[in-house]
Amino acid sequence: MKKTVLIFTICVVALISIIAIVLLWINMDRRVVSIDGRVGAVIEQKETALVIGRALLYEYFPNSFPGQNRVLNAEERNGIWRVYEVIDRVRVIDDDLTMVVSGGLIYVEFRKSNGQVLRIGTFE
């Protein structure tokens, strides 16, 4: 009887070990590549930040991009990229009211170190 319990226990432990090894092997392909010890890539270039920012803004505000003709700018401060729509033009509201618009309407902020999105929205 003791011999049967021992063999059964060894078989169960071996089966659990094999399952754990297979699961670890399957998940190895799903790991995020680490660059400089950080998860994700460091976004150093303004052009790269603009591409990422445009993609994110288009995803959340597709109606704001008719024909993809929005002028965007990117600024980096304290490790945070801010990509925003630039509007520098005069708008005529009606015959008596002309408004000079300068600034932006939509924006996204993300970390330079790993691309984590912090905020996405519209200016008030």
User: Which helix (H) or strand (E) covers residue 88, if one does?
Assistant: strand 87-94
Are residues 51 and 8 part of one domain? Answer: no
Domain, as residue range, for 81: 40-122
Are residues 45 and 26 part of one domain? Answer: no
Question: Given this model, what pLDDT does residue 74 score?
Answer: 93
Interacting residues of 75 by C-beta distance below 8 A, sequence separation 6+: 81, 82, 84
82: which strand partners? 75, 109
Are residues 66 and 9 part of one domain? Answer: no
Are residues 51 and 27 part of one domain? Answer: no
Are residues 49 and 13 part of one domain? Answer: no
User: What is the pTM assigned to this prediction?
Assistant: 0.56
Are residues 16 and 51 part of one domain? Answer: no
What is the mean pLDDT, run by run of 10 residues, along the chain of 124 residues?
Answer: 81 82 60 49 87 88 72 91 78 64 74 88 74
